Structure 1
Amino acid sequence: MSFNLDNLLRDNIKKLVPYSSARDEFKGEASVLLDANENAFGSPLDHHYNRYPDPLQHQVKEKLATIKGVPADHIFLGNGSDEAIDILYRAFCKPGVDNVILVPPTYGMYEVSANINDVQIRKVNLTADYQLDLDGIAEALDMHTKMIFICSPNNPTGNSIDRKDIETILTHFKGLVVIDEAYINFSKQRSFTQELTEYPNLVILQTLSKAWGLAALRLGMAFASKAIIQVFNKIKPPYNINQATQDLVLKALENVDTVNSWIQQTVAERELLIQELSAIAQIAHITPSDANFILAKLEEPRELYNFLVNQGIIVRDRSKVELCEGCLRITVGTTEDNRKLIEAIKQFYS
C-alpha cells in the first residue's frame, strides 16, 4: 500500500472551506484599497502598517527558495515551528482516536501539542547512544498511527540521527514522518529538503531562530509536498505572519555570508568548549554534538545549575529527563561567554 495523503486527512479538514481574506481575492497591484476595512490614513509609526500583510508571504518564500533550493510552493511559513506542529496535529489526527510516535528524549512541544489536541502519544525511547529503536517503533505502530516525529540534530542531546534509519522509516511507514531540522545549519549532515520528491510523506521543519539569529521574530518553516503545503495554508490563520516580520526577514536573508560566518564561529567555539569541559574531572561525558549546544553529564548537576544562576550564567537543567540523567544542556556562546562559563564551573568544583 503506497502513501495516500487523502487517507491521512481528517474528514472535517477535507471538507473545510478556508477563510478567504480580502487580499486573497485579487492579484496584482492596486492604488485604491477599499476592500479590507483598513485605516486609509496610515498608522502612527514611521513605517505604514495600516495594510494587511501578504497572507502567503510570497516575497519571503521566493527568497527562501533560492537559499534552500526548494520551490516556493513547497514552503509553509509559521509563527515559529510550533505553529506548523500544531497544524499537523489538527489536520491529520482525530482527537481521542489517532496516535503519534515520539522518540524521547526530544523536543517537548511535540508532546505538549499532542496533549492540547487530545492525541495519544506512544513513546519509543532512543537507544543508549541516542539513536532510533527501529524495532520498538515498528512494534508501537498501528492503524491509527498518523505521524512520527524525529528531531535531527536532536534536542536536547545534540547528535544527528542515523540517516539510513530515517530513510527506513520514510520507506516503510505510510503516515507522515516529521523531521525537525532546527539545528541543521550546525551539522555536517545534509538536510532532507533535497529528498522531498522522493518521499511524499516527508515533512521537514526548520527555523530562523537559531543560526539566523531571528528568535524574536518567530518565523518557522515547513517543507513538504505541494499537496501537504496546501493543507497547511488551508488551516492557518489568514495573516499568520505580520508585515514587520516579513520586512525584517527579507532584509536578514540578504546577509547569508554573515550567517555562514557565525555558523563557522559557533562550530569552532563548540569544539573548544567540548575540549575545555572534557578536561574537568567531574564531567563524565559530553555527547558528540551537531548543534549549537552540548549535553554534558556531570557531578551534582542541580547544584551546579543553581551555582551558575547565582553567577548570572543560565544553562538548561536536563538532569531529570529520561536518558539525560545527571546532564546539563549548554548553549555555545561567544568566546567570552564560554570563558566565563568554564571559569565558573571550575570554581564550583574546586
Structure 2
Amino acid sequence: MKITDLARKNVLQMKAYSSARDEFTDTDQDFIFQDANENPFQSGYNRYPDPNATKVKEKLSDLKGIPPANMILGNGSDEVLDLLFRAFCEPKIDEIITTPPTYGMYKVLAEVNEIQLNEVPLTPDFQLKPEAVLEAVSDKTKLIFLCSPNNPSGNLMNTQAVKQILKNFSGLVILDEAYIDFAAQNSFVSELNHFPNLVVLQTFSKAYAHAGIRLGMGFAQAEIIQLLNKIKPPYNVNQLTQEKALEVIASAETYKNQVEMLISERDLLCKELEKISFVEKIYPSEANFLLVKVDNAILRYHQLIEKGMVVRNRTNEMHCEDCLRISIGTPKENQKLIIALQELNA
C-alpha cells in the first residue's frame, strides 16, 4: 500500500501555505520581527503561535513514546477527523465505513464532505463483525472508522477483530481512542509500526480533563502526517492551548490519579445501579461512562432533569433502545445521582 495511492490527487499536487513562522523559525528575542503583520506591542500573545506546536509534540513524544514526525495536533480530534476526509476522500466519489452505534461526527463529516457513508452495525453486544466490515469494502472505500472504547457503549473492540480489518483493508483504518486511558488494554499506538494503514486518535478532553482547550492528537505513519500537515490551517493550535497543554503534560501523574478514581467510581456506581428496580441492564464499560438500559429512557431522563441531574438519552441509537448514558462524576456528584435514582425507585 502506498499512501500516495490513497490520497486525493489535488492534495498531492498542491503546494502547502507557507506562514511567516514556517519561513523563519528562529525565536531569538534579539530579532525584530516585521514579517507577519502582527501588532508589535507586547501583550504576551501579539505574535502568532508555533504552527507546528513543536514543544508540545516533543513533550508528547516522551509521554506517548511516539516520534513528533508521527503526530499531528488539531483543534480537537474533530479537526483531525476532518483533515483525514479532505486529504483522502474525493467528494461524491469515495466512500467510508462506520460501525454504529458510534461517535456521530463521522457521519456529520461524511455529509459535509459529500462522502458516501456505509454502515456495518456492531453486534447487539457492541462488538465488531470484521468479516461483514470487509465485505462492505468496495474499490471506492478509503477510510474505516472504529471507536474503541466505543461511544456510546463503552466497550473495547476485540483486538483480533481490529487487526483482521487492518490486515485485509488497503485503505486507512482510523481508531478513535478518546477513552483509552480508562481502559485496561493498552493503546494501539504500539501497533503503528506493524500497520502502515493505522491512524490512532486521542484527546485532551477526557482523561486529561481539558475539553475546554480543544486539543486532539493523531498518530500515524510520517507520510500520512505530512499530508495532513499540508492541508491544515497554519496556526490551528493557538498559543493559549499550547501553553496549557504543556502544563497538563507536566502534571500527567495528577490526571493518572484522577483516572484511577473515576474507574473506582465507575465500579461503585455500577454496583449501586444494580439495586435500582427499573435498571434492566448495565453494559460493561472501559470508558468514563456507563450505558444503562432502563424501563423507559425518556421518562427516566426527564425525571432526573427535574432532580437536577443531566444524563444522555441514547434511546434512538442502534441497539440502544431505552438506554441512558451516564458520565462518571466526582464521588459527591455520583452520590447525588444514586440518591436521586433511589428516590425514583421508592
The TM-score, its normalising length taken from structure 2, stands at: 0.98
> What does 1:162-181 correspond to in 2, within 5 Å?
162-181=158-177
Query: Do residues 27 (structure 1) and 25 (structure 2) align?
Result: yes
- Using the TM superposition, give the Cα deviation of residue 78 of structure 1 relative to its aligned residue in structure 2, in angstroms: 0.1
> What does 1:1-350 correspond to in 2, within 5 Å?
3-30=1-28, 31-43=31-43, 48-350=44-346
8 Å Cα contact 1:93-1:119 kept in structure 2: yes
Secondary structure, aligned partner of 2:250: coil
Secondary structure, aligned partner of 2:37: coil
Aligned-partner Cα distance in 2 for 1:139–1:71: 35
Aligned-partner Cα distance in 1 for 2:222–2:259: 30
- Using the TM superposition, give the Cα deviation of residue 340 of structure 1 relative to its aligned residue in structure 2, in angstroms: 0.8
Q: Unpaired segments of 5 or more residues in structure 1? A: none
Q: CA RMSD in A?
A: 0.8
8 Å Cα contact 2:94-2:142 kept in structure 1: yes
Aligned-partner Cα distance in 1 for 2:55–2:27: 14
Paired letter, 1:319: T
Secondary structure, aligned partner of 2:293: strand
Paired letter, 2:158: D
8 Å Cα contact 2:92-2:116 kept in structure 1: yes
Aligned-partner Cα distance in 1 for 2:276–2:305: 20
Secondary structure, aligned partner of 1:179: strand
- Using the TM superposition, give the Cα deviation of residue 349 of structure 1 relative to its aligned residue in structure 2, in angstroms: 2.8
Paired letter, 1:299: D
8 Å Cα contact 2:297-2:324 kept in structure 1: yes
- Using the TM superposition, give the Cα deviation of residue 310 of structure 1 relative to its aligned residue in structure 2, in angstroms: 1.6
Aligned-partner Cα distance in 2 for 1:115–1:348: 41
Paired letter, 1:60: V
- What's the % identity of the aligned pairs? 48
Aligned-partner Cα distance in 2 for 1:204–1:7: 20
Secondary structure, aligned partner of 1:280: coil
Aligned-partner Cα distance in 2 for 1:27–1:262: 37
Q: Deviation per CA, 1:139-178: give whole Å up to 9, x if none.
A: 2110000010000000000000000000011111000000
Secondary structure, aligned partner of 1:253: helix
- Using the TM superposition, give the Cα deviation of residue 342 of structure 1 relative to its aligned residue in structure 2, in angstroms: 1.2
Secondary structure, aligned partner of 1:97: coil
- Using the TM superposition, give the Cα deviation of residue 28 of structure 1 relative to its aligned residue in structure 2, in angstroms: 2.3
- Using the TM superposition, give the Cα deviation of residue 16 of structure 1 relative to its aligned residue in structure 2, in angstroms: 1.2
Q: Deviation per CA, 1:38-68: give whole Å up to 9, x if none.
A: 111123xxxx100000000000000000000
8 Å Cα contact 1:304-1:345 kept in structure 2: no
